[in-house]
Chain A
Amino acid sequence: MAIDNVTFGIQEQALQVQRRRLELIAANIANADTPGFQARDIDFRKVLESAQKSAISPGAMTQTLSSATPQYRTALQPAVDGNTVDVQVEQGQFADATLRYQASLSFLDSRIKSLITALTGQ
C-alpha cells in the first residue's frame, strides 16, 4: 500500500532491524557456553548509512535494511575454546536494542494515534 512509507516512515524498517538484532543477541546469549561460537550483531548506523547511499527510492531502502548482514563482534576477551561471547556486552547490547525497539514502537504508536485523531475528528 502506497500510504505505508509515507505514514510510518523509516520506523517500520527500524523496528525490523532491531527485532533481528534482538534475535541475534538472544542467540549470542544462548550460545554463551558453546565452544567455538562467534558472537554476531548488526551495526544499525552502518546499515542505515549504506541504505541511504544506495537508495534511489524508499522501497529500495527497505530492501537494503531488511537484508542487512550480521557481522562478527570483535572479542574483548576471547575464550580458549574459541567462544567470543561476552555475556555482559551482550546484555548491554540487548538492553540497547530493546530501548531502540521501544522507541520505534512509540513513534509508530503516536503516528497511529494522530491518524485516529484525524479520522475521528474529535
Chain B
Amino acid sequence: MSSFRIFDIAGSAMSAQSARLNTVASNLANADAVSGNPDDVYKARLPVFKTINEPGNRDSAGVQVLGIVENQAAPAKRYEPGNPIADADGYVYAPNVNVVEEMVNMISASRSYQSSVDVMNTAKDLAMRTLTLGK
C-alpha cells in the first residue's frame, strides 16, 4: 500500500511555490537595476509549473518547476542624461519587472504555500491517528 503520498505531493508544491517566491524576490530586488545597454538589462524571471505524471500511478500528481524563463518584453527606455551609465544618447534601460504583478505573484505563492502546509499537517494528524489505531 502506498502510504500517504500526500507528503510527496504537498512537498513538491511547497518547493515549487518557494521557487516562485525566489523568482519574485529576485525580480523585486532587480526592479531598479538600470543598464546602459538594452541587451544587458535584467529581465523578469518566471517559473514554469508542470504536473508530475508518474506512469505507474494515476492518482499521484505532484508539481514541478520545469524551468525558469525570462520575460522577453522590451525593457523600459528612460532618458537620464545625468546617469553615469547612460548610453551615448543619454538613455538608460530599466528591467521589464512589473512591481505590482510581482507583489500579486508573491501573495498568490504565499497562499498556495500555506495551503500545502495545511494539507501536510492534516495528513500528518491522520497518519498519527492511523498509527495509534486500537490503542
Contact = CB atoms under 8 A, between A and B. Distances in A.
Indicate, yes or no, whether A interacts with B: yes
Interface of A: 16, 19-20, 22-27, 29-35, 37, 70, 87, 91, 94, 98, 101-102, 105, 108-109, 112-113, 116
A99 B118 CA distance: 15
Given A22-B6, A30-B63, A109 B126 contact: no
Given A27-B59, A70-B58, A33 B112 contact: yes
B85 interface: no
Interface of B: 1, 4-6, 9-10, 12-13, 16-17, 20, 49-51, 58-63, 108-109, 111-112, 115-116, 118-119, 122-123, 126, 129-130, 133-134
B60 A23 contact: yes
Interface of B is mostly: helix
Contact of B133 (A31, A87, A109): A109
Given A29-B115, A34-B50, 13 more contacts: A22-B126, A23-B59, A23-B60, A27-B62, A30-B61, A30-B62, A30-B116, A30-B119, A32-B112, A33-B49, A34-B63, A94-B119, A112-B133
